[in-house]
Amino acid sequence: MANPFDINRPLRVAVIGSGPSGIYAAEALIKQSEIPVSVDVFDRLPTPFGLVRYGVAPDHQTIKSVTKVMQKVLQDPRVRFLGHVAYGRDLSQADLRRFYDAVIYAVGASSDRHLDIPGEELPGNLSATEFVAWYNGHPDYQNLPLRLDVKGVAVVGMGNVAVDVTRILAKSASELAQTDIADHALAVLAESQVTDIYMLGRRGPAQAKFTTKELRELGELANADIVVRPEELELDAQSAAWLEGQPALLRNLEVLREFAAKPLAGKPRRIHLRFLVSPVEILGQGRVERIRLEKNRLDEKMNAVGTRVFEELEVGLVLRSVGYKGVPLPEVPFDERKGIIPNREGRVLREGQVSPGEYTAGWIKRGPSGVIGTNKADAAETVRLLLEDAPHLPQAPEPQPEALTEHLKRKGVAFVTLEHWLRLDQLECARGQAQGRPRVKVTRLEEMLAEAKA
Protein backbone atom coordinates (compact mmCIF):
# COMPACT_ATOMS: atom_id res chain seq x y z
CA MET A 1 0.00 0.00 0.00
CA ALA A 2 1.27 3.51 -0.82
CA ASN A 3 2.17 5.81 2.01
CA PRO A 4 -0.94 8.00 2.61
CA PHE A 5 0.94 10.66 4.61
CA ASP A 6 2.47 13.86 3.28
CA ILE A 7 3.57 17.24 4.54
CA ASN A 8 -0.07 18.45 4.72
CA ARG A 9 -1.27 15.34 6.47
CA PRO A 10 1.71 13.97 8.39
CA LEU A 11 1.59 10.77 10.42
CA ARG A 12 0.37 11.83 13.88
CA VAL A 13 2.07 10.03 16.76
CA ALA A 14 1.46 10.39 20.51
CA VAL A 15 4.39 9.42 22.72
CA ILE A 16 3.29 8.86 26.33
CA GLY A 17 6.27 9.59 28.57
CA SER A 18 9.19 11.97 28.02
CA GLY A 19 11.94 9.86 29.58
CA PRO A 20 14.84 8.61 27.46
CA SER A 21 12.74 6.04 25.62
CA GLY A 22 9.98 8.52 24.72
CA ILE A 23 12.45 11.13 23.53
CA TYR A 24 14.55 8.61 21.61
CA ALA A 25 11.33 7.39 19.95
CA ALA A 26 10.50 10.97 18.91
CA GLU A 27 14.05 11.37 17.65
CA ALA A 28 13.86 8.20 15.55
CA LEU A 29 10.58 9.44 14.05
CA ILE A 30 11.99 12.81 12.99
CA LYS A 31 15.32 11.42 11.82
CA GLN A 32 13.77 9.43 8.98
CA SER A 33 12.65 11.17 5.82
CA GLU A 34 10.26 8.66 4.23
CA ILE A 35 7.11 9.53 6.15
CA PRO A 36 6.39 13.12 7.28
CA VAL A 37 5.53 13.05 10.97
CA SER A 38 4.03 15.23 13.66
CA VAL A 39 4.77 14.02 17.19
CA ASP A 40 3.27 15.00 20.56
CA VAL A 41 5.36 13.92 23.56
CA PHE A 42 3.31 13.84 26.77
CA ASP A 43 4.41 13.60 30.37
CA ARG A 44 2.37 13.46 33.53
CA LEU A 45 4.93 15.82 35.10
CA PRO A 46 5.54 19.43 34.00
CA THR A 47 9.18 18.50 33.36
CA PRO A 48 10.65 16.26 30.65
CA PHE A 49 13.46 13.63 30.82
CA GLY A 50 11.96 11.08 33.26
CA LEU A 51 14.58 9.30 35.35
CA VAL A 52 17.40 11.42 33.96
CA ARG A 53 15.98 14.22 36.10
CA TYR A 54 14.43 12.11 38.88
CA GLY A 55 16.58 8.94 38.98
CA VAL A 56 20.18 9.59 37.96
CA ALA A 57 22.12 10.66 41.06
CA PRO A 58 22.56 14.41 41.66
CA ASP A 59 26.35 13.97 42.03
CA HIS A 60 26.51 12.47 38.51
CA GLN A 61 25.94 15.65 36.53
CA THR A 62 27.91 14.50 33.49
CA ILE A 63 25.33 11.79 32.94
CA LYS A 64 22.49 14.27 33.38
CA SER A 65 23.97 16.45 30.63
CA VAL A 66 22.46 14.04 28.07
CA THR A 67 19.32 16.18 28.51
CA LYS A 68 20.94 18.85 26.29
CA VAL A 69 20.70 16.51 23.32
CA MET A 70 17.23 15.36 24.37
CA GLN A 71 16.01 18.94 24.58
CA LYS A 72 16.99 19.47 20.92
CA VAL A 73 14.52 16.75 19.95
CA LEU A 74 11.73 18.55 21.81
CA GLN A 75 12.71 21.80 20.05
CA ASP A 76 12.25 20.31 16.58
CA PRO A 77 9.28 21.97 14.83
CA ARG A 78 7.72 18.55 14.19
CA VAL A 79 7.65 17.77 17.91
CA ARG A 80 5.51 19.25 20.70
CA PHE A 81 6.10 18.69 24.42
CA LEU A 82 2.90 18.59 26.44
CA GLY A 83 3.73 18.27 30.12
CA HIS A 84 1.43 17.83 33.11
CA VAL A 85 -0.84 15.64 30.98
CA ALA A 86 -1.28 12.13 32.34
CA TYR A 87 -2.53 9.32 30.21
CA GLY A 88 -5.35 7.71 32.22
CA ARG A 89 -6.32 11.01 33.91
CA ASP A 90 -6.28 13.66 31.17
CA LEU A 91 -6.07 11.44 28.11
CA SER A 92 -8.06 8.29 27.36
CA GLN A 93 -7.83 5.50 24.82
CA ALA A 94 -10.70 7.16 22.90
CA ASP A 95 -8.74 10.46 22.81
CA LEU A 96 -5.69 8.69 21.41
CA ARG A 97 -7.76 7.05 18.63
CA ARG A 98 -9.47 10.36 17.84
CA PHE A 99 -6.33 12.51 17.53
CA TYR A 100 -3.49 10.13 16.59
CA ASP A 101 -2.68 7.50 14.00
CA ALA A 102 -0.31 5.75 16.42
CA VAL A 103 0.70 5.83 20.08
CA ILE A 104 3.95 4.79 21.77
CA TYR A 105 3.66 4.02 25.48
CA ALA A 106 7.01 4.93 27.07
CA VAL A 107 5.97 5.38 30.70
CA GLY A 108 8.90 3.60 32.39
CA ALA A 109 8.62 1.47 35.51
CA SER A 110 7.68 3.66 38.45
CA SER A 111 6.96 1.07 41.14
CA ASP A 112 9.26 -1.34 42.94
CA ARG A 113 9.45 -4.91 44.16
CA HIS A 114 8.97 -5.86 47.81
CA LEU A 115 11.05 -8.18 49.96
CA ASP A 116 7.94 -10.10 51.14
CA ILE A 117 9.26 -10.59 54.66
CA PRO A 118 7.66 -9.87 58.06
CA GLY A 119 8.10 -6.33 59.37
CA GLU A 120 7.94 -4.61 55.97
CA GLU A 121 5.02 -2.50 57.21
CA LEU A 122 7.18 -0.82 59.89
CA PRO A 123 7.92 2.89 59.50
CA GLY A 124 11.53 3.25 58.42
CA ASN A 125 11.24 0.60 55.71
CA LEU A 126 11.20 2.32 52.33
CA SER A 127 12.05 1.57 48.75
CA ALA A 128 15.11 3.00 47.04
CA THR A 129 12.63 4.20 44.40
CA GLU A 130 11.04 6.52 46.96
CA PHE A 131 14.34 7.63 48.46
CA VAL A 132 15.82 8.40 45.03
CA ALA A 133 12.71 10.31 43.93
CA TRP A 134 12.81 12.26 47.23
CA TYR A 135 16.45 13.35 46.98
CA ASN A 136 16.00 14.21 43.31
CA GLY A 137 13.03 16.49 44.07
CA HIS A 138 10.21 14.51 42.42
CA PRO A 139 7.03 16.46 43.31
CA ASP A 140 5.19 13.30 44.46
CA TYR A 141 7.82 12.42 47.08
CA GLN A 142 8.78 15.63 48.86
CA ASN A 143 6.99 14.61 52.07
CA LEU A 144 8.58 11.18 52.34
CA PRO A 145 8.58 10.10 56.03
CA LEU A 146 12.32 9.65 56.25
CA ARG A 147 14.33 9.94 59.46
CA LEU A 148 18.10 9.98 59.45
CA ASP A 149 18.45 10.26 63.23
CA VAL A 150 19.63 6.65 63.11
CA LYS A 151 23.11 5.11 63.12
CA GLY A 152 22.64 2.11 60.84
CA VAL A 153 20.98 1.84 57.42
CA ALA A 154 20.48 -1.36 55.42
CA VAL A 155 20.41 -1.00 51.64
CA VAL A 156 19.08 -4.25 50.24
CA GLY A 157 20.45 -4.95 46.75
CA MET A 158 23.73 -4.93 44.88
CA GLY A 159 22.95 -3.00 41.72
CA ASN A 160 23.91 0.51 40.63
CA VAL A 161 20.80 2.03 42.23
CA ALA A 162 21.83 0.52 45.59
CA VAL A 163 25.30 2.01 45.04
CA ASP A 164 23.79 5.46 44.29
CA VAL A 165 21.66 5.35 47.43
CA THR A 166 24.61 4.24 49.57
CA ARG A 167 26.88 6.93 48.15
CA ILE A 168 24.32 9.70 48.77
CA LEU A 169 23.90 8.51 52.38
CA ALA A 170 27.67 8.38 52.85
CA LYS A 171 28.60 11.77 51.41
CA SER A 172 28.99 14.86 53.56
CA ALA A 173 26.57 17.77 53.39
CA SER A 174 29.24 19.99 51.84
CA GLU A 175 29.82 17.47 49.04
CA LEU A 176 26.09 17.19 48.38
CA ALA A 177 25.60 20.96 48.52
CA GLN A 178 27.50 21.26 45.22
CA THR A 179 24.92 19.16 43.38
CA ASP A 180 21.32 19.72 42.30
CA ILE A 181 20.00 17.52 45.11
CA ALA A 182 16.61 18.78 46.32
CA ASP A 183 16.89 21.38 49.08
CA HIS A 184 14.52 19.46 51.38
CA ALA A 185 16.78 16.38 51.05
CA LEU A 186 19.93 18.39 51.62
CA ALA A 187 18.48 19.77 54.87
CA VAL A 188 17.71 16.25 56.19
CA LEU A 189 21.00 14.72 54.97
CA ALA A 190 22.96 17.59 56.57
CA GLU A 191 21.58 16.50 59.96
CA SER A 192 22.15 12.80 59.29
CA GLN A 193 23.39 10.72 62.26
CA VAL A 194 24.17 7.74 60.02
CA THR A 195 27.52 6.08 60.66
CA ASP A 196 27.14 2.61 59.12
CA ILE A 197 25.55 1.71 55.81
CA TYR A 198 25.18 -1.99 55.01
CA MET A 199 24.72 -2.99 51.36
CA LEU A 200 23.27 -6.48 51.37
CA GLY A 201 23.52 -8.95 48.50
CA ARG A 202 21.79 -12.34 48.63
CA ARG A 203 24.33 -13.89 46.30
CA GLY A 204 28.13 -13.67 46.10
CA PRO A 205 30.51 -11.02 44.77
CA ALA A 206 30.56 -12.74 41.36
CA GLN A 207 26.82 -12.17 40.96
CA ALA A 208 26.68 -8.51 42.07
CA LYS A 209 25.06 -6.29 39.44
CA PHE A 210 26.93 -3.02 40.00
CA THR A 211 29.46 -1.83 37.45
CA THR A 212 33.14 -1.45 38.30
CA LYS A 213 33.18 2.32 37.85
CA GLU A 214 30.37 2.80 40.36
CA LEU A 215 31.94 0.30 42.78
CA ARG A 216 35.33 2.00 42.61
CA GLU A 217 33.70 5.36 43.36
CA LEU A 218 32.44 3.97 46.69
CA GLY A 219 36.04 3.32 47.71
CA GLU A 220 37.08 6.88 46.94
CA LEU A 221 34.66 8.75 49.20
CA ALA A 222 36.13 11.42 51.44
CA ASN A 223 33.66 10.75 54.23
CA ALA A 224 33.42 6.95 54.37
CA ASP A 225 35.61 3.89 54.77
CA ILE A 226 34.68 0.71 53.00
CA VAL A 227 34.49 -2.60 54.82
CA VAL A 228 34.54 -5.93 52.99
CA ARG A 229 34.90 -9.31 54.72
CA PRO A 230 37.55 -11.38 52.90
CA GLU A 231 35.68 -14.62 53.72
CA GLU A 232 32.62 -13.33 51.82
CA LEU A 233 34.75 -12.92 48.68
CA GLU A 234 35.70 -16.59 48.56
CA LEU A 235 34.20 -18.13 45.45
CA ASP A 236 32.46 -21.46 45.12
CA ALA A 237 33.60 -23.66 42.22
CA GLN A 238 30.69 -22.74 39.89
CA SER A 239 31.14 -19.00 40.38
CA ALA A 240 34.90 -19.27 39.86
CA ALA A 241 34.46 -21.17 36.59
CA TRP A 242 31.70 -18.86 35.40
CA LEU A 243 33.73 -15.72 36.14
CA GLU A 244 36.48 -16.81 33.76
CA GLY A 245 34.44 -15.59 30.78
CA GLN A 246 33.24 -12.39 32.47
CA PRO A 247 35.96 -9.72 32.43
CA ALA A 248 33.71 -6.98 33.85
CA LEU A 249 32.76 -9.13 36.83
CA LEU A 250 36.37 -10.19 37.34
CA ARG A 251 37.27 -6.52 37.60
CA ASN A 252 34.59 -6.08 40.27
CA LEU A 253 36.15 -8.91 42.24
CA GLU A 254 39.60 -7.37 41.96
CA VAL A 255 38.28 -4.06 43.31
CA LEU A 256 36.48 -5.84 46.15
CA ARG A 257 39.69 -7.66 47.08
CA GLU A 258 41.53 -4.32 47.12
CA PHE A 259 38.83 -2.96 49.44
CA ALA A 260 39.09 -5.98 51.75
CA ALA A 261 42.87 -5.54 52.02
CA LYS A 262 42.75 -1.80 52.69
CA PRO A 263 43.10 -0.67 56.33
CA LEU A 264 40.32 1.62 57.60
CA ALA A 265 41.24 5.31 57.67
CA GLY A 266 38.88 6.23 60.52
CA LYS A 267 36.49 8.29 58.39
CA PRO A 268 33.17 9.34 60.00
CA ARG A 269 31.10 6.76 58.09
CA ARG A 270 31.54 3.15 57.04
CA ILE A 271 30.07 1.33 54.04
CA HIS A 272 29.85 -2.42 54.65
CA LEU A 273 29.49 -4.54 51.52
CA ARG A 274 27.94 -7.81 52.65
CA PHE A 275 27.49 -10.82 50.38
CA LEU A 276 25.53 -14.08 50.67
CA VAL A 277 22.96 -12.71 53.13
CA SER A 278 19.17 -12.42 52.78
CA PRO A 279 16.94 -10.25 54.96
CA VAL A 280 14.35 -12.54 56.56
CA GLU A 281 12.67 -10.14 59.00
CA ILE A 282 12.57 -6.46 59.87
CA LEU A 283 12.22 -5.99 63.62
CA GLY A 284 11.29 -3.09 65.90
CA GLN A 285 8.74 -1.62 68.30
CA GLY A 286 6.71 0.78 66.19
CA ARG A 287 9.58 1.47 63.79
CA VAL A 288 12.55 -0.27 62.22
CA GLU A 289 15.24 -1.10 64.81
CA ARG A 290 16.94 -4.23 63.44
CA ILE A 291 17.11 -6.42 60.40
CA ARG A 292 17.53 -10.18 60.65
CA LEU A 293 19.71 -11.80 58.02
CA GLU A 294 20.16 -15.40 56.99
CA LYS A 295 23.52 -16.51 55.69
CA ASN A 296 23.26 -18.07 52.22
CA ARG A 297 25.27 -20.45 50.09
CA LEU A 298 24.98 -20.85 46.34
CA ASP A 299 23.62 -24.06 44.83
CA GLU A 300 24.94 -25.59 41.61
CA LYS A 301 22.83 -23.15 39.54
CA MET A 302 24.30 -20.24 41.54
CA ASN A 303 20.96 -19.54 43.27
CA ALA A 304 21.01 -18.39 46.90
CA VAL A 305 19.98 -21.03 49.43
CA GLY A 306 19.51 -20.26 53.15
CA THR A 307 21.80 -22.04 55.61
CA ARG A 308 19.72 -21.45 58.80
CA VAL A 309 22.54 -19.36 60.22
CA PHE A 310 21.18 -15.99 61.32
CA GLU A 311 22.50 -12.63 62.47
CA GLU A 312 20.96 -9.25 63.25
CA LEU A 313 22.10 -5.77 62.32
CA GLU A 314 21.09 -2.66 64.23
CA VAL A 315 19.55 -0.40 61.63
CA GLY A 316 16.89 2.30 61.87
CA LEU A 317 16.22 2.51 58.15
CA VAL A 318 15.86 -0.14 55.45
CA LEU A 319 15.97 0.86 51.78
CA ARG A 320 15.17 -1.96 49.44
CA SER A 321 16.63 -1.79 45.97
CA VAL A 322 15.60 -5.10 44.49
CA GLY A 323 14.18 -3.92 41.19
CA TYR A 324 11.79 -1.44 39.66
CA LYS A 325 8.42 -2.59 38.36
CA GLY A 326 6.02 -1.26 35.75
CA VAL A 327 2.47 -0.23 36.66
CA PRO A 328 -0.54 -0.90 34.44
CA LEU A 329 -2.09 1.91 32.40
CA PRO A 330 -5.90 2.10 32.13
CA GLU A 331 -7.25 0.37 29.00
CA VAL A 332 -3.78 -0.89 28.05
CA PRO A 333 -2.85 -4.59 28.35
CA PHE A 334 -0.37 -5.48 31.09
CA ASP A 335 1.73 -8.53 31.90
CA GLU A 336 1.55 -8.64 35.72
CA ARG A 337 4.31 -11.19 36.10
CA LYS A 338 6.86 -9.32 33.99
CA GLY A 339 5.55 -5.85 34.88
CA ILE A 340 5.54 -4.77 31.22
CA ILE A 341 3.09 -4.04 28.41
CA PRO A 342 2.96 -7.31 26.41
CA ASN A 343 4.60 -6.65 23.05
CA ARG A 344 6.47 -8.15 20.13
CA GLU A 345 9.58 -6.01 19.49
CA GLY A 346 7.52 -2.97 20.53
CA ARG A 347 4.21 -3.79 18.81
CA VAL A 348 1.62 -3.97 21.61
CA LEU A 349 -0.22 -7.28 21.91
CA ARG A 350 -3.86 -7.44 22.94
CA GLU A 351 -4.83 -11.02 23.80
CA GLY A 352 -1.80 -12.25 21.94
CA GLN A 353 -2.60 -10.31 18.74
CA VAL A 354 -0.79 -7.21 17.47
CA SER A 355 -2.97 -4.18 18.20
CA PRO A 356 -2.87 -1.81 15.19
CA GLY A 357 -1.42 1.61 16.03
CA GLU A 358 -0.20 0.75 19.56
CA TYR A 359 3.51 0.54 20.39
CA THR A 360 5.77 0.62 23.41
CA ALA A 361 9.39 1.49 24.22
CA GLY A 362 11.84 1.57 27.13
CA TRP A 363 11.43 0.06 30.58
CA ILE A 364 7.70 -0.58 30.19
CA LYS A 365 8.49 -2.53 26.99
CA ARG A 366 11.38 -4.68 28.17
CA GLY A 367 11.53 -4.32 31.97
CA PRO A 368 13.70 -2.14 34.21
CA SER A 369 17.18 -2.83 32.93
CA GLY A 370 19.78 -1.04 30.90
CA VAL A 371 21.36 2.40 30.91
CA ILE A 372 20.01 5.54 29.25
CA GLY A 373 21.65 4.66 25.92
CA THR A 374 20.03 1.19 25.88
CA ASN A 375 16.72 2.93 25.27
CA LYS A 376 17.94 4.43 22.02
CA ALA A 377 18.23 1.17 20.11
CA ASP A 378 15.11 -0.09 21.87
CA ALA A 379 13.05 2.93 20.76
CA ALA A 380 14.52 2.76 17.24
CA GLU A 381 13.33 -0.85 16.93
CA THR A 382 9.79 0.18 17.92
CA VAL A 383 9.77 3.14 15.51
CA ARG A 384 11.04 1.01 12.63
CA LEU A 385 8.03 -1.29 13.02
CA LEU A 386 5.64 1.63 13.46
CA LEU A 387 6.84 3.16 10.19
CA GLU A 388 6.58 -0.21 8.47
CA ASP A 389 2.95 -0.46 9.66
CA ALA A 390 2.08 3.21 9.00
CA PRO A 391 0.47 2.78 5.53
CA HIS A 392 -1.98 0.21 6.95
CA LEU A 393 -2.95 1.95 10.18
CA PRO A 394 -6.50 3.17 10.82
CA GLN A 395 -6.27 6.94 10.42
CA ALA A 396 -7.22 9.42 13.12
CA PRO A 397 -10.43 11.36 12.39
CA GLU A 398 -9.05 14.61 13.91
CA PRO A 399 -5.34 14.73 13.15
CA GLN A 400 -4.81 18.51 13.40
CA PRO A 401 -2.47 19.34 16.31
CA GLU A 402 -4.83 22.13 17.47
CA ALA A 403 -7.72 19.65 17.74
CA LEU A 404 -5.90 17.93 20.60
CA THR A 405 -4.89 21.10 22.44
CA GLU A 406 -8.41 22.53 22.08
CA HIS A 407 -9.76 19.30 23.53
CA LEU A 408 -7.38 19.54 26.52
CA LYS A 409 -8.36 23.17 27.10
CA ARG A 410 -12.06 22.27 26.99
CA LYS A 411 -11.40 19.64 29.62
CA GLY A 412 -9.55 22.19 31.77
CA VAL A 413 -6.18 20.39 31.56
CA ALA A 414 -3.45 22.87 32.55
CA PHE A 415 -0.84 21.53 30.15
CA VAL A 416 2.74 22.77 30.04
CA THR A 417 4.44 23.53 26.73
CA LEU A 418 8.14 23.43 25.86
CA GLU A 419 8.30 27.21 26.32
CA HIS A 420 6.91 26.83 29.82
CA TRP A 421 9.44 24.12 30.64
CA LEU A 422 12.31 26.23 29.29
CA ARG A 423 11.23 29.07 31.57
CA LEU A 424 11.26 26.77 34.61
CA ASP A 425 14.60 25.32 33.50
CA GLN A 426 16.09 28.79 33.20
CA LEU A 427 14.82 29.77 36.63
CA GLU A 428 16.27 26.63 38.25
CA CYS A 429 19.64 27.14 36.56
CA ALA A 430 19.76 30.82 37.56
CA ARG A 431 18.98 29.95 41.18
CA GLY A 432 21.68 27.28 41.00
CA GLN A 433 24.26 29.64 39.53
CA ALA A 434 23.74 32.05 42.42
CA GLN A 435 24.73 29.22 44.80
CA GLY A 436 27.49 27.63 42.71
CA ARG A 437 25.29 24.61 41.93
CA PRO A 438 24.12 23.15 38.59
CA ARG A 439 20.50 24.06 39.44
CA VAL A 440 18.13 24.44 42.36
CA LYS A 441 15.08 22.35 41.60
CA VAL A 442 11.54 23.55 42.12
CA THR A 443 9.88 20.57 43.77
CA ARG A 444 6.29 21.57 44.59
CA LEU A 445 3.91 20.91 41.74
CA GLU A 446 1.92 24.12 42.21
CA GLU A 447 5.12 26.16 42.25
CA MET A 448 6.44 24.36 39.18
CA LEU A 449 3.26 25.21 37.28
CA ALA A 450 3.20 28.79 38.53
CA GLU A 451 6.87 29.44 37.68
CA ALA A 452 6.60 27.73 34.29
CA LYS A 453 3.65 29.90 33.33
CA ALA A 454 4.83 33.08 35.06
Ligand X SMILES: Cc1cc2nc3c(=O)[nH]c(=O)nc-3n(C[C@H](O)[C@H](O)[C@H](O)COP(=O)(O)OP(=O)(O)OC[C@H]3O[C@@H](n4cnc5c(N)ncnc54)[C@H](O)[C@@H]3O)c2cc1C
Instruction: With CA atoms as reference, report the closest residue to 195 among 270, 266, 274.
Output: 270
Name the minimum Å distance from CB 142 to ligand X.
Answer: 15
The least distance separating ligand X from the CB of residue 245, rounded to whole angstroms, comes to: 25
* Angstrom distances, CA of residue 275 to CA of 3, 44, 110, 290, 297: 57, 39, 27, 18, 10
* Cβ distance to ligand X smaller for residue 19 or 357: 19
CB of 24 to ligand X, least distance (A): 8
d(CA 155, CA 72): 37
Between 146 and 304, whose beta carbon lies closer to ligand X? 146
**DSSP element (H, E) containing 366:** helix 363-366
- Residue ranges binding ligand X (CB under 6 A): 16-22, 42-45, 50-51, 55-56, 60, 63, 86-88, 106-108, 132, 161, 164, 324, 329, 362-363, 370-372, 375
Complete DSSP assignment for 340-362? B--EETTEEEETTEEEEEEEE-T
Q: Positive or negative, the Cα torsion across 439, 441, 446, 449?
A: positive
Question: What is the closest distance, in whole angstroms, from the C-beta atom of residue 50 to ligand X in the complex?
Answer: 3
Cβ atoms of 38 and 404 within 8 Å: the answer is no
Which residue, 16 or 322, has its beta carbon nearer to ligand X? 16
Q: What are phi and psi of 61, to 5 degrees?
A: -65, -30
Minimum distance from CB of 296 to ligand X (Å)? 26
Of 50 and 157, which has the nearer Cβ to ligand X? Answer: 50
Look at residue 85 and give its three-state secondary structure: coil
Q: Do 244 and 237 form a contact (C-beta atoms < 8 A)?
A: no
Residue with smaller CB distance to ligand X, 132 or 418: 132
Which CB sits closer to ligand X, 298 or 372? Answer: 372
Q: In whole angstroms, how close is the CB of 159 to ligand X at the nearest point?
A: 9
CB atoms within 10 A of CB 244: 9
Separation of alpha carbons 390 and 384, rounded Å: 10
Distance set, CA 11 to CA 28, 333, 398, 443 (Å): 14, 24, 12, 36
Least separation in angstroms between residue 40's CB and ligand X is 11
User: Among positive and negative, which fits the CA dihedral 388, 389, 392, 397?
Assistant: negative
Which CB atom, from 106 or from 383, has the smaller least distance to ligand X? Answer: 106
CB of 228 to ligand X, least distance (A): 23
Q: In this complex, which beta carbon is closest to ligand X, that of residue 22 or of residue 119?
A: 22
Nearest-CB residue for ligand X: 19
